[in-house]
Amino acid sequence: MIRKRTFLIIIIICFYAGCDDFLDTQNYMKKDTANFPSTQEDATQMTTGVYSALKSQIGYLRSSHFFVAEMAGDDRLGGGSRSNRESQAIDRMQYSEESQFRDFWRVTYSGIFRANSAIATINNVSTWNVEGLKEQYLGEIHFLRALYYFQLVQLFGEVPLLLNPEPENKPKATAHEIYFRIASDLLTAIDLLPAKHYTQIESGRATRWASEALLARIFLFYTGYYKQKTLPTADGTEITSHDVITYLEDCIHHSGHELVSDFRNIWAYSNQWTKPDYPYSSANDLEWAGDGCRETIFAIKFGNHARNEEGKDALGYSNQLCLNFGLRYPGSYNDEKCFPFGQGWAIGTINPTLWKEWLRDEPDDIRREGTIMSQQIEMPPDWSTDRTKQVEETGYWGKKYIPVLARDETGKIWKSYSCPAFGTAEDYQTSHTNDLILIRLADVYLMHSELSATAQGINIVRERAGLDPVTAYSSDALKRERRYELATEGLRWWDLLRWHEASAVIPENQEGVIIKVIGTDNVYTSSFASRFVKTGGFFPIPESQVILSNGVLKQNPGWLPEDKDAYFENLPY
């Protein structure tokens, strides 16, 4: 039986409010470093508070690291309606307002602040009832601080580096300084976290294995984008590709993680409550492996009765990607015609180029239809989206993160499979509980192939998809495999950046694509190439933070007032 935990979200660990910006210093809470933490239970609460920024990021989805990665890459278009300017702007490396990334910046630095506070005060706890728990918590906290800084430095290039809980008005650190600290934090996490086998219950917690996998991802991005051979750490040592390969092999051989037998069983559309009425799942005898499946190394977890501190529904504690990537229903259509995919804002429509190139390269790849819903294949002949509002409609939608409906024995169609499965309150906006997977084992195999320049990892992943092995390693084979295996999982954009291919590949794959805008045939256009030259692929620091710093914090190149093309004001149709 697949279980879903019920969460009551009450954040009591934020010593300083941090609700307006990370420079806030007023203490709004009763707990502070004079009396907290003092017990093991306090330390548990404190560590949970460091994790909470991950969910808060999803509450502000359209400025989040994952969302930006999906919008900025070549495999999705902005989509949505004329009011969804954030997604369309990100897709073109522009922005819809000067502080578009304000909320992501704020909550991510809130997570860093909590991590810094926890590291500084955890020794206040004098008695630990569970042996090794202090070390485990410290390992998790260092992992999370590394993850938060990695998200920031990937999005913005250079940011202030804060390593203690005292508020400071600091200028940007160099990217190299930040990566040195990230690497050091992950080495600390690897050293502190126990080498325990995977357990489904802890799939949302940082582990030794997640730390090793994240270190590899960071090594590849740093050495690729900045054209370095090694990844130095804050203490002067250097991490080599050989070191990272060793860590990945430790994860592969000792973690207990395994590939799910069928790629499609990772995703919620294969669940047992939807399968009987979804021909694709039933015909292929799919069986959902569930949240926290053996392939998942690290994921953001969501609750099925999420509430904030005021007892109200908290959008940030359901998987808002599903809502945003869902189908935009016209008024005359209903769940019956769209089954099993539910209503949303139709943001991030899939670029037809991905479908066509995938079909050309791997015509027998089950992952293509397992990842992308084609209107021609899966929707009724009379289906159309809401063409009074939909822009950049392509006829293709992603299936990994989308509302998944279910029909019960009475014939009722639920807004999410989570309702009959877990008793989730029914709401088409907040009922989506499936994990947001940030790291899974297939990516580990592909990173191992890339670093070792061997085909073994590629072929393990291909074998699971029922495909013939590649005869020898090549960078082209690796790049194709990453694109198809990991499509719509928030990684393609970062891959193109580190391979220095974004400025050429993205315009080539997007410009001139046939789309519908308010029901009328049109073509996709963008100024992405010129914007990329100005920005280097990095997005703007929120202008509110620049102002609050009194000029200490400088805006990124390409986003200055004189860069008039940075502003996305109207759709170019």
Q: What is the pLDDT of residues 35-94, one digit of tens each?
A: 789 999 999 999 999 999 998 999 899 999 999 999 999 999 999 999 999 999 999 999
> What burial letters (b/e) apply to 128-165, b meaning 16+ CB within 10 Å?
eeeeeebebbbbbbbbbbbbbbbbbbbbbbbbbbbbeb
- Expressed in angstroms, the distance from the first to the final Cα of the chain is 50
Is the four-CA dihedral 250, 263, 51, 240 of positive or negative sign? positive
Structure tokens at 230: 């090694």
pLDDT at 3: 46
Q: Specify the DSSP element, H or E, that contains 438.
A: strand 436-440
- Does the pTM surpass 0.85? The reply is yes
Give me the CATH topology for the region 1-173+517-573.
1.25.40
pLDDT at 315: 52
Q: How many Cβ atoms from other residues are within 10 Å of residue 107's Cβ?
A: 26
Contact 13, 46 (CB under 8 A): yes
pLDDT at 20: 37
Q: How many Cβ atoms from other residues are within 10 Å of residue 500's Cβ?
A: 12
Contact 273, 297 (CB under 8 A): no
Structure tokens at 202: 């802890």
pLDDT at 32: 62
SS3 407: strand
Helices (H), 255-341: 279-283, 320-325, 335-338
Domain ranges of the chain: 1-173+517-573, 270-516
pLDDT at 11: 29
Q: Specify the DSSP element, H or E, that contains 346.
A: none
Q: Specify the DSSP element, H or E, that contains 263.
A: none
What is the C-alpha to C-alpha distance for residues 6 and 423, in angstroms, rounded to an integer? 10
pLDDT at 306: 53
SS3 373: strand
What is the C-alpha to C-alpha distance for residues 570 and 124, in angstroms, rounded to an integer? 54
pLDDT at 314: 55
pLDDT at 10: 27
What is the C-alpha to C-alpha distance for residues 11 and 17, in angstroms, rounded to an integer? 11
pLDDT at 109: 97
DSSP string, 473-496: --HHHHHHHHHHHTTTSS-HHHHH
SS3 11: coil
pLDDT at 34: 65
> Which residues of the chain are under the pLDDT cut of 70?
1-34, 201, 305-316
Contact 325, 339 (CB under 8 A): no
Compute the C-alpha angle 135/442/375, nearest 5°. Answer: 130
Taking the C-alpha atoms of 253, 258, 263 and 264 in order, what is their torsion angle to the nearest 10 degrees?
-160
What is the C-alpha to C-alpha distance for residues 487 and 484, in angstroms, rounded to an integer? 5
Is the four-CA dihedral 80, 85, 91, 92 of positive or negative sign? positive
Helices (H), 412-561: 418-422, 441-452, 456-464, 475-485, 492-498, 502-510, 528-535, 543-548
Q: How many Cβ atoms from other residues are within 10 Å of residue 376's Cβ?
A: 8
What is the C-alpha to C-alpha distance for residues 349 and 327, in angstroms, rounded to an integer? 9
DSSP strand pairing (413-414 vs 406-407): antiparallel
What is the C-alpha to C-alpha distance for residues 524 and 532, in angstroms, rounded to an integer? 17
SS3 359: helix
Is the four-CA dihedral 259, 264, 266, 272 of positive or negative sign? negative
The DSSP secondary-structure symbol of 472 reads S
What is the C-alpha to C-alpha distance for residues 538 and 178, in angstroms, rounded to an integer? 15
pLDDT tens-digit series, residues 394-424: 999 999 999 999 998 899 999 999 999 999 9
DSSP string, 129-180: SSTTHHHHHHHHHHHHHHHHHHHHHHHHS------SSS-----PPPHHHHHH
